């Protein structure tokens, strides 16, 4: 069931009607059933997998709480991590690793032929396994007390607004919100509806409209002129942002209607003045997860320069691989790892403090920083979107060959109009720091903005394409 | 809470909808805009095919309709077929195949076709990829067909289709909404549709000859996606049965045709047994529903060679000529043996 479908509108109306008429416990039971129904719409067969993950981490959480023996606690944690990564590894990466092992052994002259299994990737598996894993790790670290209520935990894992494409919530944030009675405020409902409107605008009006052009350009880059290839990558950068941020907005808006706040996943990433700031603004729930559960445990920046760079690269390569079992995602992650390393080195050489980008005042320096970061991110998107390394390099070669540049004026409107529409939403959010910034606008401006967005959504609604991040 | 604002934006939205609806009803405005044509992402010319069928049906009795995917679209030339087969004056055939469509999508479009005509016979050309439960391509195409509001509206499929059809019939804004959105997003431009590659009777002639194709290009013709992890089950098989029952319920005779494939096509399969699975499924359906099954691949007397293929599964003009001839002759023999149309439900 897609957020941008009529089914979801009907589903949400039924859920809200029931939710508002029930008390806290009843609300949680109903939300859990609704979440399983929501997930079952894709493929009910994988509900069992989610239940397995739920039972394992619920039990591990209780076991970790009961014992103080370090060895035993470690064993429980390893069991949880192995189970979750095992599920994820099998369903997402089995064929990838087998194929590559086969190639390596073949290249080494060893005949090896493993069967390729037909494995369907269960939707949302990368999100909920990371979420349940962080629960067990937090308890192991003593940062979280386990819940004894199985139903609350099951709801934490399956909570439908953020189940299939995040944000990847932390138990320390979402569980307490599920455990306490919710207060439905008029403010919350208004801002929730506003977020849903913004999310639908980003997804239906921008991402889905530019998507076919992106598909057409990336499917045959060698037949395109340089301006068309520029359009392809510019529009893909916009598509993936509006698609994913749009999903997150609708998820957060839906959750607000239920009286539950979930974390912000995007903060206008293309306004980042350096690459490190970009990662504090892009897919925040994943980047903070990778920081807390991978980069820091690897040693972070505590054990010398070489180890810091190594940790950065490992984190970004695995972060890339998280997106899918394909080398192009690894290359994309690796590129960002290199960017971050070079940025860190540059900061050290110039004595610049970490995180200066955010605080940097507006001026030529910041504008140049935004432009440079944007170009670097665009280059990396080519590797993310293309089917392989050769295709990416061919795309870039053709792009920089600057062929048929006379076409540029005719291509520009198709780049500028969607970007302008996206910026009309992003700029107020960036200036105010509020996702529902439009609510503070004066009446005429607010009315015109909402009516225009709603009208454009009506034009595009129904031409539904799946959210890009569902495949991850 | 700013509920006081609701009337303002709501009124403005309603005003916009009514205003644009009114404007779109003006012929002058309509003349300025491109036609609102339903398209599928992989088959942008679907409306052309429907239009051609409507035009042809206005001057002819379409008593034979060919359906299937791109292999059928390039494989049967209705003009050749009608020249060879025995038919009444004014009767004609039409190739209504659409590239990429497996049975589930084909059934939806068949519903659209049969809203405007009642053929005596439907000839359904099938290839192995049509019945594979594990083809990601078939799943993707099916998902997108069933996400296409204009296709659902035209077929009046389900409650959504009924609702969308109602909107389509009564609202110009609904009809033109994708056109308007595309134009807005492209700064007033509208992307042109590709050139129509099928003729007025739905046939897609391909000149390329597989035998003359350089080796490097031939390699690009391998396509495992359609037949990987071959299994005949699931939604495409269910839809195949539904399609047969749908056609029979309307008193139309259905003929199944196993389309020819080049020798290299078999290399796409994971196992040599996979093709047998497909044939067994076709034969089982043919027996269960008592449908004629014309196996143009398995019939050793009529083997198609690399000079008759454009790639590994699409016939070129020469191949289509032979296949259309062969189908017409079989059709004549069937008619002669049945005297009247047989196997009617």
How many alpha carbons fall within 13 Å on the CB side of residue A265? 28
Average pLDDT over residues A441-467: 80
Q: How far is CA A335 from CA A302, A317, A328, in A?
A: 23, 9, 10
pLDDT given at position A472? 43
Give the bridge partners for B40, in sequence order: B43
Specify whether the CB–CB gap between A333 and A354 falls below 8 A. no
Q: What is the ipTM of this complex?
A: 0.72
Separation CA A433–CA A453 (nearest Å): 21
- In this prediction, residue A118 carries a pLDDT of 60
β-bridge partners, B92: B62
Q: Does B191 touch chain A (CB under 8 A)?
A: yes
Q: Which residues of A touch B44 (CB under 8 A)?
A: none
- What's the CA gap between A469 and A445, in Å, rounded? 33
Q: Could you say which of B8, B147, B185 has the minimum Cβ distance to residue A209?
A: B185
pLDDT computed for residue A30 by the predictor: 93
- The reply to whether residue B185 touches residue A462, judged by beta carbons under 8 angstroms, is no
Angle, to 10 degrees, between the axis of helix B158-170 and the axis of helix B172-185?
90
Q: Which residues contact A256 (CB under 8 A, 6 or more apart)?
A: A188, A189, A191, A192, A195
Please say if the pLDDT value at position A325 is more than 80. Answer: no
Q: Hey, are the CB atoms on A460 and B143 less than 8 Å from each other?
A: no
Residue of A nearest to B141 (CA): A465
The residue among B9, B146, B149, B268 with the most chain A CBs within 10 A of its CB, best to mutate, is B9
Query: Is A465's Cβ below 8 Å from some Cβ in B?
Result: yes
With contacts defined as CB-CB under 8 Å, which chain A residues touch B147? 463-465
What is the predicted pLDDT for the residue at B231? 85
Beta strands in B85-224 (DSSP E): 91-95, 121-126
Which residues of chain B make contact with A458, given a CB cutoff of 8 A?
13, 17, 173, 177
Q: Quick check: A205 and B185 CB within 8 A?
A: yes
**B210 vs A: CB within 8 A:** no
Nearest-CA neighbor of B129 among B337, B314, B335, B309?
A: B314
The number of beta carbons lying within 10 Å of the beta carbon of residue A152 is: 18
Residue A259 vs residues A19, A183, A186, A461: alpha-carbon distances, Å = 10, 6, 10, 26
How far apart are alpha carbons A130 and A234 in whole angstroms?
31
**How many CB atoms lie under 10 A from the CB of residue A197?**
22
Average pLDDT for A383-389: 86
Give the integer Cα–Cα distance in Å for A316 and A333: 5
Q: Which two tokens stand for residue A351?
A: 């004595």
Cβ pair A414:B187 closer than 8 A: yes
Cβ distance of A463 and B148 shorter than 8 Å: yes
Q: Does B190 touch chain A (CB under 8 A)?
A: no
Tell whether A190 lies on the interface with B, counting CB pairs under 8 A: yes
Q: Which residues are CB-contacts of B291 (< 8 A; sequence separation ≥ 6)?
A: B244, B254, B255, B256, B285, B343
DSSP collapsed to 3 states, chain A: CCCCCHHHHHHHHHHHHHHHHCCHHHHHHHHHHHHHHHHHHHHHHHHHHHHHHHHHHHHHHHHHHHCCCHHHHHHHHHHHHHHHHHHHHHHHHHHHHHHHHHHHHHHCCCCCCCCCCCCCCCCCHHHHHHHHHHHHHHHHCCCCCCCCCHHHHHHHHHCHHHCCCCCCCCHHHHHHHHHCCCCCCHHHHHHHHHHHHHHHHHHHHHHHHHHHHHHHHHHCHHHCCHHHHHHHHHHHHHHHHHHHHHHHHHHHHHHHHCCCCCCCCCCCHHHCCCHHHHHHHCCHHHHHHHHHHHHCCCCCCCCHHHHHHHHHHHHHHHHHHHCCCCHHHHHHHHHHHHHHHHHHHHHHHHCCCCCHHHHCCCCHHHHHHHHHHHHHHHHHHHHHHCCCHHHHHHHHHHHHCCCCHHHHHHHHHHHHHHHHHHHHHHHHHHHHCCCCHHHHCCHHHHHHHHHHHHHHHHHHCCCCCCCHHHHC
Residue A65 has a pLDDT of 87
Q: How far is it, in rounded angstroms, from Cα B6 to Cα A190?
A: 10
Enumerate the residues of chain A whose CB falls inside 8 A of the CB of residue B164. Answer: 462
> Would you call A454 an interface residue with chain B, using a CB distance cutoff of 8 Å?
yes
pLDDT score, position A469: 47
Tally A–B CB contacts below 8 A: 93
Which two three-digit tokens encode residue B123?
């000839």
A251-285 CB burial, b ≥16 within 10 A, e <16: bbbbbbbbbbbbbbbbbbbbbbbbbbbbbbbbbbb
Residue window 266-305, chain B: list those with CB within 8 Å of chain A: 270
Identify the bridge partners of residue B94 per DSSP, sorted by sequence position.
B65
Q: Helix, strand, or coil here: B192? A: coil
Check residues B228 and A80 and name the one with the higher pLDDT. A80
B233 and chain A: CB distance < 8 Å anywhere?
Answer: no
**Chain A contact present for B187, CB below 8 A:** yes
The pLDDT value given to residue B301 = 61
Using the Cβ of A424 and the Cβ atoms of chain B, whether some distance falls under 8 Å is answered with no
Of B178, B189, B270, the CB nearest to A414: B189
pLDDT greater at residue A166 or residue B316: B316
**Best of B4, B11, B13, B224 to disrupt the A interface by mutation (most A CBs within 10 Å)?**
B13
Q: Which residue has the tokens 């200036």?
A: A431
A443 and B8 within 8 Å at the Cβ level: the answer is yes
Interchain CB contact of A209 with B (< 8 Å): yes
A contacts of B148 (beta carbons < 8 Å): 463
Give the model's pLDDT for residue A463. 62
What's chain A's average pLDDT?
Answer: 86
Q: Do A465 and B9 touch (CB under 8 A)?
A: no
A324-329 long-range contacts, CB within 8 A, separation 24+: A324/A92, A324/A471, A324/A472, A325/A92, A325/A93, A325/A95, A325/A96, A325/A97, A326/A96, A327/A388, A327/A389, A328/A383, A328/A384, A328/A386, A328/A387, A328/A388, A328/A389, A328/A392, A329/A384
Q: Identify whether the C-beta of residue B21 lies closer than 8 Å to the C-beta of residue B173.
A: yes
B182 interfaces chain A, CB cutoff of 8 Å:
yes
Q: Which residues of B touch A446 (CB under 8 A)?
A: 5, 8-9
* Residue of chain A whose alpha carbon sits nearest to that of B164: A462
Residues of A identified as active-site: 323
Could you report how far apart the first and last alpha carbons of chain B are, in Å?
Answer: 64
8 A C-beta contact, residue A234 and residue A251: no
In angstroms, rounded to a whole number, what is the distance separating the alpha carbons of residues B181 and A206? 10
- Beta strand spans in chain B (E): 61-68, 91-95, 121-126, 253-258, 293-295
Site from A43, A193, A208, A447 to mutate, B interface, most B CB atoms within 10 angstroms: A447
Distance of CA B337 to the CA centre of its chain: 30
Among residues of chain A, what percentage have pLDDT more than 90? 42
Per the listing, tokens 């049975």 go with B103
Q: Of A8-12, A164-168, B112-116, give the lowest mean pLDDT range.
A: A164-168
Q: Provide the pLDDT for residue A70.
A: 87
Task: Name the pLDDT band for A332 (thresholds 50, 70, 90).
Answer: very high
* Model-wide pTM > 0.95: no
Tell me which residue in B12, B20, B187 faces A417 most closely, judged by beta carbons: B187
CB A34 within 8 A of CB A27: no
Name the residue among B5, B15, B147 with its Cβ closest to that of A446: B5
- Tell whether B13 is within 8 A of chain A (Cβ): yes
**CB-closest option in B16, B134, B188 to A413:** B188
Question: What does the pLDDT read at residue A462?
Answer: 67
Contact A159, A78 (CB under 8 A): no
- Taking only the tens of pLDDT, chain B with its 345 residues reads 454 555 688 889 999 999 999 999 999 998 888 877 666 656 677 888 888 998 999 998 999 999 999 999 999 999 999 998 887 778 899 999 998 889 998 998 899 899 888 999 999 999 998 998 888 778 878 877 877 777 777 778 778 788 888 888 888 988 888 888 888 888 877 766 678 889 999 999 999 999 898 877 777 777 777 887 888 888 889 999 999 999 999 999 999 999 999 988 888 888 888 899 999 999 999 999 999 999 988 776 668 889 999 998 899 999 999 999 999 999 998 888 775 444 443
Rounded to whole angstroms, the Cα distance separating B102 from B114 reads: 18
- Orientation of helix B103-113 relative to helix B234-249, angle to 10°: 20
Question: What is the C-alpha separation between A56 and B153, in angstroms, rounded?
Answer: 46
DSSP SS3 for B63: strand
| A258: closest CA of chain B, how far (Å) | 16
User: H helices within B89-131, ranges in order?
Assistant: 103-113
A64-68, A388-392, B138-142, B244-248: which is most confident: B244-248
- Using alpha carbons, select from A274, A250, A275, A256 the residue that is nearest to residue A265: A250
Residues of A in contact with B270 (CB under 8 A): 116
Residue B16 contacts A where some CB pair is shorter than 8 Å:
yes
Q: Find where tokens 């690796």 sit.
A: A334
Tell me the longest C-alpha to C-alpha distance in chain B.
79
B185 closest CB neighbour out of A418, A448, A458: A418
Residues with Cβ within 8 Å of B181's Cβ and at least 6 positions away in sequence, in order, are A205, A209, A456, A459, A460
- Of A455, A464, A465, which has the smallest distance from its Cβ to B16's Cβ? A455
User: Using a CB-CB distance cutoff of 8 angstroms, which residues of chain A are in contact with residue B187?
Assistant: 412-414, 416-417
If one compares A302 and A43, the residue with the highest pLDDT of the two is A302
Residues 138-177 of B with CB under 8 A from A: 143-144, 147-149, 160, 164, 173, 177
Contact A186 B160 (CB under 8 A): no
> In this complex, is the C-beta atom of B2 within 8 Å of any C-beta atom belonging to chain A?
yes
User: Closest partner residue to B2 among A116, A190, A212, by Cβ?
Assistant: A190
Q: Quote the CA–CA distance of A317 and A283 in Å, as a whole number.
A: 16
Cα separation, A211 vs A386, whole angstroms? 14
3-state secondary structure of B73: helix
């Amino acid at each position: 069931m897609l957020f941008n479908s009529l089914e979801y509108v009907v589903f949400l109306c039924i859920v809200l009607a029931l939710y508002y008429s029930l008390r806290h416990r009843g609300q949680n039971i109903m939300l859990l059933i609704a979440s399983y129904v929501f997930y079952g719409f894709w493929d009910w067969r994988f509900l069992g997998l989610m239940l397995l993950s739920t039972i394992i981490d619920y039990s591990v959480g209780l076991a970790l709480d009961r014992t103080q023996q370090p060895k035993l606690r470690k064993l429980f944690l390893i069991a949880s991590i192995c189970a979750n990564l095992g599920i994820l590894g099998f369903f997402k990466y089995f064929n990838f690793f087998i194929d590559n092992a086969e190639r390596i052994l073949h290249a080494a002259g060893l005949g090896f032929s493993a069967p390729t299994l037909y494995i369907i990737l269960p939707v949302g598996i990368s999100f909920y396994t990371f979420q349940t894993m962080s629960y067990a790790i937090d308890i192991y670290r003593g940062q979280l007390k386990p819940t004894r209520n199985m139903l609350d935990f099951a709801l934490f894992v399956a909570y439908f607004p953020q189940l299939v494409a995040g944000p990847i919530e932390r138990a320390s944030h979402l569980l307490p919100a599920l455990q306490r009675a919710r207060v439905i405020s008029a403010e919350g409902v208004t801002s929730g509806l506003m977020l849903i409107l913004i999310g639908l605008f980003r997804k239906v009006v921008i991402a889905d409209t530019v998507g076919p052009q992106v598909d057409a350009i990336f499917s045959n880059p060698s037949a395109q002129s340089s301006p068309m290839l520029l359009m392809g990558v510019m529009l893909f950068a916009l598509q993936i942002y509006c698609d994913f941020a749009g999903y997150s907005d609708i998820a957060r808006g839906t959750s607000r209607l239920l009286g539950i706040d979930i974390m912000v996943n995007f903060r206008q990433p293309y306004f980042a003045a350096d690459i490190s700031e970009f990662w504090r603004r892009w897919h925040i729930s994943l980047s903070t997860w990778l920081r807390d559960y991978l980069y820091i445990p690897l040693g972070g920046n505590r054990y010398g320069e070489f180890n810091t760079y190594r940790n950065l690269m490992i984190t970004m390569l695995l972060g890339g691989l998280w997106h899918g079992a394909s080398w192009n995602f690894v290359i994309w992650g690796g590129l960002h790892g290199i960017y971050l390393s070079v940025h860190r080195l540059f900061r050290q050489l110039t004595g610049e403090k970490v995180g200066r980008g955010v605080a940097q005042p507006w001026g030529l320096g910041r504008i140049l920083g935004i432009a440079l970061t944007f170009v670097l991110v665009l280059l990396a998107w080519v590797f993310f979107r293309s089917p392989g390394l050769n295709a990416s390099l061919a795309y870039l070669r053709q792009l920089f060959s600057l062929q048929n540049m006379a076409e540029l004026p005719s291509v520009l409107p198709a780049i500028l109009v969607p970007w302008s529409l996206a910026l009309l939403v992003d700029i107020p959010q960036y200036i105010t720091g509020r996702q529902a910034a439009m609510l503070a606008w004066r009446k005429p401006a607010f009315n015109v903005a909402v009516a225009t967005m709603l009208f454009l959504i009506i034009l595009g609604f129904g031409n539904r394409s799946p959210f890009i991040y569902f495949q991850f | 809470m700013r509920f006081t604002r609701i009337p303002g934006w709501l009124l403005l939205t309603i005003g916009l909808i009514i205003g644009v609806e009114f404007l779109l009803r003006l012929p002058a405005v309509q003349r300025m805009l491109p036609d609102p044509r339903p398209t599928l992402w992989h088959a942008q010319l679907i409306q052309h095919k429907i239009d051609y069928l409507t035009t042809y049906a206005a001057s002819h009795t379409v008593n034979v309709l060919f359906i299937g995917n791109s292999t059928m679209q390039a494989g049967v030339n209705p003009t050749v077929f009608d020249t060879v087969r025995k038919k009444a004056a004014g009767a004609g055939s039409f190739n209504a195949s659409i590239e990429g469509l497996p049975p589930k999508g084909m059934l939806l479009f068949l519903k659209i076709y049969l809203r405007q005509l009642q053929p005596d016979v439907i000839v359904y050309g099938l290839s192995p990829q049509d019945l594979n439960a594990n083809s990601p391509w078939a799943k993707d195409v099916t998902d997108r067909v069933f996400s296409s509001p204009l296709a659902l509206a035209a077929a009046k499929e389900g409650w959504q289709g009924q609702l969308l059809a109602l909107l389509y019939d009564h609202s110009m804004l609904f009809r033109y909404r994708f056109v308007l959105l595309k134009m807005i997003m492209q700064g007033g431009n509208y992307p042109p549709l590709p050139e129509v590659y099928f003729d007025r009777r739905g046939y897609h002639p391909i000149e390329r000859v597989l035998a003359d194709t350089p080796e490097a290009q031939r390699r690009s013709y391998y396509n495992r996606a359609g037949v990987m992890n071959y299994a005949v089950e699931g939604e495409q098989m269910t839809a195949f049965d539904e399609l047969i029952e749908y056609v029979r319920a309307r008193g139309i005779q259905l003929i199944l045709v196993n389309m020819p494939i080049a020798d290299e096509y078999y290399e796409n399969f994971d196992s040599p047994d996979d093709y047998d699975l497909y044939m067994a499924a076709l034969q089982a359906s043919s027996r269960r529903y008592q449908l004629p099954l014309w196996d143009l691949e398995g019939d050793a007397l009529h083997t198609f060679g690399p000079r008759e293929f454009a790639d590994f599964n699409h016939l070129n003009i020469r191949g289509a000529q032979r296949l259309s001839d062969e189908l017409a002759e079989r059709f004549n023999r069937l008619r002669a043996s049945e005297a009247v149309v047989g196997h009617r439900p």
